[in-house]
Structures are given as C-alpha cells and as structure tokens.
Structure 1
Amino acid sequence: MATPEFSNSSLPTLTSAASVLPLPDKYRGAVVEDLQLPPAFSLPRTELISHAIKLAYDRDFSHIPVLGKRRNLLGYVEVAALKKKWEAGEVNPTEKIATCMTKFNRSPRTNPYTIITPDTPLADLESFLKDHIFALITDYQRKFVLGVATSQDLESFVSRRGI
C-alpha cells in the first residue's frame, strides 16, 4: 500500500491554529454559584446600629442588605462606613439602621438594575462589579437575597483555582 504524501503547504501549522482559538476565559465558564459564598443575612430596617455592626463583624460581612416590613429590599449598610460614623460620634448606636442606610433607587428609567442569580456567569459579574461596590445575588424570582458578592470574592476564586 502506498503511503500518502503531504506537501508542507497543506499541513496546518501550530501558529495558524493557535491564532484562531480564543484566549481561555479566566473563569473557565464558572458561574456565581461556584464562588461558594456564605449565605447572606439581611437585617430589618428597625435593627439597632450597635447590633448590626456586631453581626456584620461576627460574620465578616462588609455590606448588609436592609429589608422593609414585607421583606422587600430597601437598601444596604456599608459596615466600615457605619463603624467610622459610630466611632466619630456621628451616629447613636441605639438608632435604627434605616437612619444611615443607602437607599436603592427604584426608578427603572433612571437607574435600571441587573439581575444576578446563581447561574450568572462570573465574567458578567466581573463586568457588573466594575461599576458597583457589591452585587446582591438573588433567587430566580428575586424574592430572596442569597448572597453578597464583591470583587474580592472574584479575586479569591481565581487564586484558589490557580488561574
């Protein structure tokens, strides 16, 4: 049997094949669920500042979602900023966190929101976090806050995977 002959021009080269392939995604298709975030905890707007700070430090959270009477999201408290205000005497520890929370702008026209669920790709989360301090991870019906993600969570994920 005759051996087929190939000319050098008909064989693909490594450089031409490599130039066609896309660069590998640093998240390798991972989604928010792969971050393995601790479960979020939210506080009612009536919670005292002193108790909110204690709970945040016990759980190592930097941002706490604040809920209304019907468990609807009203806003959030940035723990480090709240602690600084407390230490500077700008807030009373017996006040409610509603007095110092950052309220969400609910107007979809002026401030549209992005839905982030456990199935959201990490590349999309990274894009979102370029313009925001944190992201609230919700269930698919947006009724419950499941977690809070920050850019540090993404950095930790990449370092754990050795990418």
Structure 2
Amino acid sequence: MPFSDKDTTPTPSLPRGAKYRGAVVEDLQLPPAFCLPHDAPISLALEAAYEREFDQLPVLNDRRKPIGYLYIPDLKSKSEKGEAGLEDPLSRHVTHFPLSSKTHPYTIISPMTPLEDLEDFFAARNVDFALVTDDERRWVLAVATKTDLETFVKRRG
C-alpha cells in the first residue's frame, strides 16, 4: 500500500488557542438562551426546543438562577415511552448541576471568555455544552456547545 506525505510527514502542533485567533464566546454569535422555570410542564419544554432547534434547555429556580438543564432527546424519549407525562413539571426530569465545591468549582463562562478556555472547560468537565452567563451569574445569556466551537473553526478556516 503506498504512503502519502500525510502518513509520513509529522504535522506541527499549533500553540494553545491558535485555531481561535483570540476569539471569545461572543464571537460564536450564539442565539439567546431560552430558559424555563422548574415548575413549567414538559409539553412547554418540548415545544420550545422544537421551535428553536435546541437540544439543551436551562432550567431556573424561583429566583431565576440556573439549577440544571433538560436534555431534550432524552426527555422526548421518556415522553414517548410514557415515562414522563406532558403535564409533569420539569423539576421531575431536570439534570441538576453539581453544587459548587472544591471538587466541582463553578466556572463562569461569559461572552468575554476566550474560546480556548471554553474548549478546556468541555475537556475538563467531559461535557458537550456550557451555559454562558454574565460575570455575576445573574442571567443565562446563551448555551455554547462543542459543535459551536467546531463550526466556528471551520468557518474561519
């Protein structure tokens, strides 16, 4: 089998973050987050996710603070199997965020967070998305995904 130059020529590794060229989360141009209160019915979550083509929806407590998220494909599957009623409150099906602690410190991802830091967050936490908040964590502004990063790099070339 013949070898190509790709097979024999080592590719130089890029410095950390070089593929992002100084870009920050704001440069991803993410759509605004759509958040739901923990007592909203599942039917509202499924409808909102379908209309907006979202896979994850942040869930807020009574003080409008994020407490967790819904992974819509799982929620849809539970609903279809009869494991979740359309009028069930979201609180019965939410995946809660771990409370901030030394073993699970809260990481703020804001519009000004460098994309290499977002990539590190995904890798360190082994997650596929992050909530983008203001610096004081008062408001959920958007949801960033690994796919958003990949698309950004491809678009920039």
TM-score bracket for this pair, using the shorter chain length: 0.7 to 0.9
Q: 1:153 aligns with which of 136, 148, 156?
A: 148
2:88 matched to 1:86? no
Report the Cα offset of residue 106 of structure 1. Answer: 1.1
Match of 2:139 in 1: 144
Closer, same or farther: CA 70–24 of 1 in aligned 2, 3 Å: closer
Residues 1:22 and 1:35: Cα distance change in structure 2 (over 3 Å): closer
- Give the Cα–Cα distance (whole angstroms) in 2 for the partners of residues 156 and 104 of structure 1: 26
2:19 equivalent to 1:62? no
Q: CA deviation at 1:110?
A: 3.2
**4+ aligned runs moved over 3 Å, structure 1:** 21-24
Q: Hey, what's the Cα distance between the residues in 2 that align with 1:24 and 1:150?
A: 17
TM score, norm. by length of structure 2: 0.86
Shift of 1:109: 2.6
Residue 23 of structure 1, CA deviation: 8.0
Which shows bigger deviation, 96-105 or 22-31?
Answer: 22-31
Q: CA RMSD in A?
A: 1.8
Q: Which deviates more from structure 2 when the two are superposed, residues 133-142 or residues 28-37?
A: 133-142
Deviation (angstroms), 1:27: 0.5
2:5 corresponds to 1:44: no
TM-score of the superposed pair, with normalisation by structure 1: 0.82
Q: Percent identity?
A: 53
Alpha-carbon distance in structure 2 between the residues aligned to 1:126 and 1:22: 14
Question: Does the 8 Å CA contact 2:42/2:88 hold for their aligned counterparts?
Answer: yes
Task: Encode CA deviations 1:105-149: one digit per residue, 9 max, x unaligned.
Answer: 114133112111111110110111122121010011110001100
- Residues 64-113 of structure 1 show CA distances to partners (whole Å, capped at 9, x for unaligned) of 11011111111111111100111111111110111000111114133112
